[in-house]
């Protein structure tokens, strides 16, 4: 049952408590961080996932919990394409099935292996990331990864991903990267000057925003030798749930892949994409050999200091939110409420799909009932009550 207090919560208070839908692909780790024969822990909305790379080079993802004593499987060892728990040596395959137990089972019987399973999650690798589908595996094939043409072409644009964990709820981060009203914070770097939100609209799961803003003041645009002009007086951003991106003149783009860890922690992978860069004044294209160190320099002296300003503000906002959760907010940017509506809607959809999945698993008389990563029984109970009280079934 929803309490009276919860019914009175503002949309903002509600959104700061929800996770992101598991029925999407999430970049959970950089491919280069997981070598053959190794495992690594990833987290998705208060849940732990064991990622491991087998000897065939493929990554697999399991619930990070041995079915025996519930200890983390990432403390175990990879053997072939399986993961062995460090304690009593139970072995799990990539589908979460326990396929071997190294000790006697009961009294002297080693031949009868009991039917034991833990949850697994579909995995794929692309753009240098390990993507995990933490929700209902049966939906994974129908859901695409984000499409990034600049990385799909024959000569993909080089980029250096930035992997940072921010002490803030994912919805705050989203509001930060898309709300240019905070130009004051970046007055030294001037990534956007005099912003004006010209238009915004939602089409299915994507909210697009068009800003008029003078981008020519940005230090990176100046360093790149760009001239002030038509191409640099506007910027398009979009939130293509659950991914966020922006585009300036098809030449400067960024993508942000967020992984919600809990109410106050979000892992973020930023991908900044720069098209052909030229040497200022002589307008000669910078050769590929110099591009890599140049990207490192841009990150070091521009992107990371700029992001650090946002990190500071987000951490302040998170602490302030915990201190004053129900204080009224004055909000002048309409996209903020659009984001919040969509985040709540998507979380409800995720819970509804998990309620349906539970019914389906019971109908099929499955021995093991699995829930999507990050979903608890309490979440499902609360969702069922909410649907009943409202008298409507969410889509
Ligand atoms: S706790 Fe994993 S095998 Fe015993
Ligand atoms: Fe910012």
pLDDT tens by residue, 139-156: 999 999 999 999 999 989
Using the CB atoms, write b or e for 65-74: b if 16+ within 10 Å: bbbeeeeebb
Report the pLDDT value the prediction gives residue 281, as an integer from 0 to 100: 63
Same domain, 130 and 162: no
Ligand nearest to the CA of 305: 2
CATH code of the domain containing 308: 3.90.380.10
Percent of the chain at pLDDT > 90 equals 70
Which of the four pLDDT bands, split at 50, 70 and 90, describes residue 16? very high
Q: What is the pLDDT of residue 193?
A: 82
CA distances for 382 relative to 130, 376, 387, angstroms: 32, 10, 9
Res 391: pLDDT:
60
Q: What average pLDDT score do residues 210-235 get?
A: 74
Domain that holds residue 263: 157-324
For residue 54, the domain's CATH number is 2.102.10.10
63-75 pLDDT, tens digit per residue, is 999 999 999 999 9
Count CB atoms within 10 A of the CB of residue 276.
10
pLDDT score of 387 more than 70 = yes
- The ligand placed nearest to the CA atom of residue 310 is 2
The interaxial angle of helices 170-178 and 304-323, nearest 10 deg, is 130
Residues 6+ apart with CB under 8 A from 335: 178, 179, 197, 200, 207, 209
261 within 8 A of 267, measured Cβ to Cβ: yes
Quote the mean pLDDT of the chain: 90
Question: Among candidates 42, 207, 222, 8, which has minimal Cα distance to 130?
Answer: 42
**Is 131 found in the same domain as 52?**
yes
Take atom 3 of ligand 1 and give the residue whose Cα is closest: 88
In short, whether 255's Cβ falls inside 6 Å of ligand 1 is no
Structure-token match 């499955």, residue found: 366
Is the domain of 184 the same as that of 312? yes
Confidence of residue 216 (pLDDT cuts 50, 70, 90): confident
Same domain, 103 and 70: yes
For residues 240 and 227, what is the distance between their CA atoms, to the nearest angstrom? 30
- Indicate the top mutation candidate among 64, 82, 90, 98 to test ligand 1's pocket, ranked by most ligand atoms within 8 A of CB: 90
**101 and 128 part of one domain:** yes
Residue 7 has pLDDT above 60, yes or no: no
- 34 to each of 56, 91, 128, how far by Cα in Å? 13, 20, 11
Q: What is the pLDDT of residue 144?
A: 96
Rounded to whole angstroms, the Cα distance separating 12 from 169 reads: 11
Task: Reply yes or no on whether the pLDDT at 118 is more than 80.
Answer: yes
Angle value at C-alpha 325, between 320 and 326, nearest 5 degrees = 130
pLDDT of res. 228: 57
Residue 373 Cβ inside 6 Å of ligand 1? The answer reads no
Q: pTM of the predicted model, to two decimals? A: 0.93
């Amino acid at each position: 049952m929803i309490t009276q207090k919860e019914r009175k919560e503002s949309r903002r208070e509600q959104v700061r408590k929800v996770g992101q839908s598991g029925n999407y692909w999430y970049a959970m780790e950089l491919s280069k961080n997981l070598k053959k024969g190794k495992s690594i822990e990833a987290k998705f909305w208060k849940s732990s996932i064991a990622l491991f790379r087998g000897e065939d080079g493929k990554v697999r993802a399991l619930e990070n919990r041995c079915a025996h004593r519930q200890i983390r499987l990432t403390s175990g060892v990879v053997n072939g394409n399986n993961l062995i728990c460090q304690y009593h040596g139970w072995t799990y395959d990539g589908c979460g099935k326990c396929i071997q137990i190294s000790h006697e089972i009961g009294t002297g019987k080693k031949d009868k292996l009991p039917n034991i399973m833990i949850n697994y999650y579909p995995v794929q690798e692309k753009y240098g990331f390990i993507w995990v589908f933490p929700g209902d595996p049966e939906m994974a094939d129908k859901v695409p990864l984000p499409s990034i043409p600049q990385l799909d072409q024959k000569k993909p644009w080089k980029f250096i991903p930035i992997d940072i964990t921010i002490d803030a709820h994912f919805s705050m981060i989203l509001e930060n990267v898309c709300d240019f009203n905070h130009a004051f914070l970046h007055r030294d770097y001037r990534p956007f000057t005099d912003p004006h939100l010209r238009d915004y609209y939602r089409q299915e799961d994507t909210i697009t925003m068009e800003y008029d803003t003078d981008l020519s003041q940005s230090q990176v645009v100046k360093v790149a030798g760009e001239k002030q002009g038509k191409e640099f007086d506007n910027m398009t951003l979009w939130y293509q749930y659950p991914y966020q991106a922006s585009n300036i003149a098809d030449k400067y783009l960024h993508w942000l892949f967020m992984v919600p860890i809990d109410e106050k922690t979000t892992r973020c992978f930023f991908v900044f994409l720069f098209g052909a860069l030229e040497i200022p004044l002589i307008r000669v294209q910078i050769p590929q050999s110099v591009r890599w160190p140049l990207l490192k320099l841009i990150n070091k002296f521009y992107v990371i200091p700029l992001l650090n300003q946002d990190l500071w503000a987000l951490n302040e906002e998170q602490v302030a939110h915990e201190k004053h959760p129900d204080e009224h907010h004055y909000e002048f940017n309409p996209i903020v409420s659009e984001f919040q509506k969509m985040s709540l809607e998507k979380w409800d959809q995720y819970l509804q799909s998990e309620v349906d999945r539970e019914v389906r698993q019971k109908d099929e008389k499955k021995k093991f009932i699995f829930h999507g990563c990050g979903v608890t029984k309490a979440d499902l109970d609360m969702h069922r009550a909410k649907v009943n009280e409202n008298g409507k079934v969410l889509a």
